[in-house]
């Protein structure tokens, strides 16, 4: 009815306008109204564009608030109806009739109330962390709150024996989240990994961590940490990171990681040398000047000058150089002398076995064409350069 009445009013206004104004005035009025409408539309569009980001933020905040309210409601329902699980004390029965007299002083167990509050804050911090850390722009704050609540819980843990079931359950949820973080594309900063290390793996272990899951956390933690260059970790100025990278566990895991990388490079080298030699030249003139890659040509010339004139030699060099560097890092990380010596001998034997032999041309020079003679001299020089390069690597191994 309201819409119908408004339409009738508009029709009456239009009829009145046509009766009181001329056709030219009506036309001008129509143009004026249309211009005003267009301007309002443009103004609205401009305002919408300028505040679109804020609108999206408000929408996200509303969605986050809705999710938070649902979570709080679910936790509150658990707190209300799972008395056996949370060990909540029921209030004493209140009689229908009360004997007149001075009111008794209420007997409030403040210790028990503080325990419940502590457990609740800790539990909510973990739930908030698990549900929002991966998507929140304030992930660092969520992580910091979890660490703080864990610290508070540890201080009061001796007096929370009756809550061990719920504490163990929440601790397991936290561990499982850490373990599954790589497959869920959840990443932690190095300082956060350090906090997790000292919370779960190091220091006095008061919390009821599951031993098997804690070992999984250890594997995920060090695997993720070692994705960063060791030099960058050692340069970090964060106190807890500095403490972490100088811990016994870190140094041990670092040696193990270097040793794993060394073994992997040995396998690559042995696999390369077990295959048929690829004598494809590394320096090839381009068919057209347009195909010329200056940087590539310069690198090929550098390798060629070192005697690395074939694909096999280049690939062998690209494995040996970082491998020798890794062996040096393993020695510097206080690797056992016997293990260092074993690695040195192992690589030395491989290098000596594949040392290029420089052949002296036995045929009479007169029997060779000029192209054959030049090619023979160049080949001998390349073999000599490659032999000298490998000998220098063998010498570098002796001082490890």
The tens digit of pLDDT for each residue in 224-236 reads 999 888 788 888 8
C-alpha distance across the termini of the chain, in Å = 95
pLDDT at 40 over 60: yes
pLDDT in the model for residue 300: 79
pLDDT at 109 over 70: no
Percentage of residues in the chain having pLDDT higher than 70: 80
Cα-based distances in Å from 223 to 13, 22, 219, 228 = 77, 85, 6, 10
- Residue 307 class from Cβ within 10 Å (0-12 exposed, 13-18 middle, 19+ buried)? buried
Cα-based distances in Å from 105 to 8, 102, 108 = 72, 9, 9
pLDDT in the model for residue 98: 42
pLDDT at 93 over 50: no
Stretch 271-297: mean pLDDT: 72
pLDDT in the model for residue 103: 43
> Which residue do the tokens 């919390």 mark?
207
Higher pLDDT, 301 or 324: 324
List the chain domain ranges. 82-88+113-246, 256-398
pLDDT at 141 over 80: yes
Contact between 226 and 257 (Cβ < 8 Å): yes
pLDDT at 132 over 60: yes
265: pLDDT confidence band, cut at 50, 70 and 90?
very high
pLDDT at 134 over 60: yes
Q: Model's pTM, two decimal places?
A: 0.60
Give 350-382 pLDDT, tens digit per residue. 888 888 776 655 555 566 677 667 777 777 888
Range scoring the smallest mean pLDDT among 132-146, 251-265, 369-383: 369-383
Percentage of residues in the chain having pLDDT higher than 90: 24
Residue 56 backbone dihedrals phi, psi, to 5 degrees? -65, -40
pLDDT in the model for residue 95: 42
Higher pLDDT, 113 or 98: 113
Higher pLDDT, 358 or 252: 252
**Which of 191, 193, 186 is closest to 218 using CA atoms?**
193
Higher pLDDT, 180 or 341: 180
Cα angle for residues 291, 297, 298 (degrees, 5° grid): 145
**Which of 125, 9, 2, 140 is closest to 71 using CA atoms?**
125
pLDDT in the model for residue 214: 94
DSSP state of 366: G
Stretch 85-98: mean pLDDT: 47
Stretch 125-138: mean pLDDT: 90
Residue 165 backbone dihedrals phi, psi, to 5 degrees? -65, -50
Stretch 60-80: mean pLDDT: 74
């Amino acid at each position: 009815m309201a819409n119908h009445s408004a339409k009738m009013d508009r029709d009456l206004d239009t009829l009145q306008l046509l009766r009181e104004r001329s056709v030219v005035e009506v036309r001008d009025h129509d143009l004026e109204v249309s211009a005003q409408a267009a301007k309002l539309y443009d103004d609205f569009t401009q305002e919408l564009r300028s505040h679109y980001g804020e609108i999206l933020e408000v929408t996200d905040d509303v969605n986050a608030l809705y999710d938070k309210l649902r979570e709080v409601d679910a936790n509150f329902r658990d707190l209300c109806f799972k008395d056996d699980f949370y060990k909540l004390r029921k209030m004493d029965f209140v009689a229908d009739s009360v004997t007149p007299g001075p009111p008794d002083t209420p007997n409030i167990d403040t210790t028990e109330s503080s325990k419940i509050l502590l457990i609740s804050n800790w539990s909510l911090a973990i739930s908030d962390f698990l549900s929002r850390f991966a998507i929140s722009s304030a992930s660092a704050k969520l992580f910091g709150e979890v660490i703080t609540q864990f610290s508070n819980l540890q201080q009061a843990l001796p007096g929370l024996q009756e809550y061990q079931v719920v504490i163990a359950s929440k601790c397991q949820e936290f561990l499982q989240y850490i373990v599954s973080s790589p497959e869920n594309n959840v990443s932690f900063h190095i300082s956060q990994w350090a906090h997790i290390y000292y919370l779960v793996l190091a220091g006095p272990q008061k919390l009821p961590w599951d031993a098997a899951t804690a070992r999984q956390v250890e594997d995920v933690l060090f695997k993720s940490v070692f994705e960063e260059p060791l030099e960058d970790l050692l340069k970090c100025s964060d106190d807890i990171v500095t403490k972490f990278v100088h811990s016994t566990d870190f140094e041990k895991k670092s040696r193990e990681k270097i040793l794993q990388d060394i073994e992997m490079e040995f396998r690559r080298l042995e696999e390369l040398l077990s295959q048929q030699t690829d004598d494809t030249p590394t320096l090839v003139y381009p068919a057209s000047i347009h195909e010329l890659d200056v940087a590539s040509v310069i690198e090929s010339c550098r390798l060629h000058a070192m005697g690395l004139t074939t694909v096999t030699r280049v690939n062998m060099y690209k494995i040996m150089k970082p491998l020798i560097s890794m062996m040096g890092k393993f020695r510097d990380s206080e690797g056992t002398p016997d293990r260092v010596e074993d690695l040195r001998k192992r690589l030395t034997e491989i290098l000596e076995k594949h040392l290029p032999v420089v052949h002296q041309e036995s045929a009479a020079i007169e029997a060779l064409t000029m192209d054959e003679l030049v090619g023979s001299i160049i080949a001998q020089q390349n073999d000599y350069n490659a032999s000298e390069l490998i000998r220098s690597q063998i010498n570098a191994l002796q001082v490890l």
